[in-house]
Structure 1
Amino acid sequence: MRVFTTMVYRELKRFSHSRARVIGSIINPLIWLIFFGKGWAGVFDNPMAAPIFGGVDYMTYLVPGIVAMTIFNMSFMQGITIIWDKQFGFLKEILVAPASRTEAILGRITGGAIMALIQGVIILALSFALADLNLSGVLPALGMGFIVGIAIAGMGVAIALRMTSMEGFQMVIMMIMLPMTFLSGAFYPIKTMPEWMQWLARINPLTYAVDGSRYYLAGVAPTFAITTDWLVLTALAAILAGIAAIEFRKATIE
């Protein structure tokens, strides 16, 4: 497990040394919470709107979605580090080293998920001043966040391993991230979407993370059974991390 733990440590150390990245990753979700959340909270500040959002105010409804979205976005960006390492030669060193490629890539994925989870914890801690959240639901919500972080980091790494351009990767992930974010139910209930969008939401991994996080943190009845949320996310984490490991084993030095 030395290779695995080394790669986890490297990802966390590299992130902690990038002040601009740390600050930017915290400010972005705060902008959503303050400017988007507070703005729409005033619109929905009436008794008739509460049933739409599961009986809670809009800020309480929104916060779990923003926390899950933060972990999702930061995990997906893990793919950028793969392309960065391709350009600067570090990936070549890993490929020729007498070490397990599977352990190396799983360590990177896990490090990326932990890094994203730390950012989610920071946003969640700040959100207690903005919304009425359940303290008892923090640990299960973060556990679910870590699993979705593994799944999405695996997806980002698998995509990045087939690309050479950082600009091209950023274009691809923006095309994937935006629809997945808006289809997840983070900003509005899935049941209010057109039927064709509801079907797309059901195949969106982020939907299940938002659904479970909202149940634990806000006490809103889940759209799916909570066991379904856990099972789907766990299965996707195993599948997507496995795909990333297979892609990395097939990678060449070129």
Structure 2
Amino acid sequence: MVYRQVKRFVNARSRLVITIVQPLIWIVFFGMGWSRAFSFPGARALFGGLDYLTYLASGMVAMTVMTGSFMSGVSVIWDKQFGFLKETLVAPASRSEVILGRALGDALVVNIQAMIVLALLFLVAPGLNPGGVLPAFLYGLLLSLGFASLGIALSVKISSMEGFQMVVNLVTMPLLFMSGIFYPISTMPEWMKAAAYLNPATYAVDGMRYWLTGVSYFNPALDTALLLALTATLLFVGTRAFEKATVED
């Protein structure tokens, strides 16, 4: 399953291009615009001493991972339509192995894309630390495993490609804005902070930002522990949903 997901990615070059271009559009049209707005004296204090472009760039890696991981469920819907999903459901391998293989394959693909994006971000945000690339990859791998599992679990219950994309957009947009990618958690209203603390992306963003810039809102050890716990929870939810799926779904 891992090999299959990676091979599909290699054969779908348009998917790679779109995944890379999207965060770069955010950086150019959102980041560069707001970096000028936050150029007044004292603005860097809002972002832990970082300029806004560097602050945003360190979060774009997690954004690439999040959006790409959720969309892994699209391949499940395609497999439904072409009959491959039925073959995996009746295969002698356990369903937990099947979904873990799919999730791991999609996680590797998404993180390859994220690392390409990160390499390009060094051109616009030279303040990023090259030594943080490997830790950022590991945080991204954990995050993508959880969200890929959730995306697969959703796609098992949804047959319409359009319906799945609407659900994904409905879920990902709040998670993106409540993760600390675009603005610090300390500036959020109290109700939004409470939601952000339950968001796995919050701890991935914070951990990546710590290793790439030296700035963090939480303790890095806490980031790792909570991200592991939340990812394990999403893996469990995804595995249970896939195990309960029927050939007729």
Q: Does 1:167 align with 2:162?
A: yes
* Structure 2 counterpart of 1:138: 133
Which sections of structure 2, spanning at least 5 residues, go unmatched? none
1:186, CA displacement in angstroms?
A: 0.3
Native 8 Å contact 1:109 1:150 kept in 2: yes
1:100, CA displacement in angstroms?
A: 2.0
* Structure 1 counterpart of 2:26: 32
1:174, CA displacement in angstroms?
A: 0.7
Instruction: Give the alignment's Cα RMSD to 1 decimal.
Output: 1.0
TM-score (norm 1): 0.94
Q: From 211, 214, 231, give the equivalent of 1:216.
A: 211
Q: What's the CA shift string for 1:131-174, capped at 9, x where partnerless?
A: 11011111111111110010111111111111111111111111
TM-score (norm 2): 0.96
1:213, CA displacement in angstroms?
A: 0.8
Distance of 2:190 and 2:245 partners within structure 1: 41
Matched residue SS, 2:182: coil
Distance of 1:24 and 1:9 partners within structure 2: 22
Matched residue SS, 1:98: coil
Native 8 Å contact 2:71 2:151 kept in 1: yes
Identical counterparts, % of pairs? 53
Matched residue SS, 1:129: helix
Native 8 Å contact 1:151 1:233 kept in 2: no
Distance of 1:128 and 1:74 partners within structure 2: 21
Which sections of structure 1, spanning at least 5 residues, go unmatched? 1-6
Q: From 17, 34, 41, give the equivalent of 1:23.
A: 17
Native 8 Å contact 1:92 1:253 kept in 2: yes
* Structure 2 counterpart of 1:75: 69
Moved more, 52-61 or 39-48: 39-48
Q: Does 1:109 align with 2:113?
A: no
Spell out the pairing of 1:86-105 with structure 2 (5 A cutoff). 86-105=80-99
Distance of 1:97 and 1:197 partners within structure 2: 44
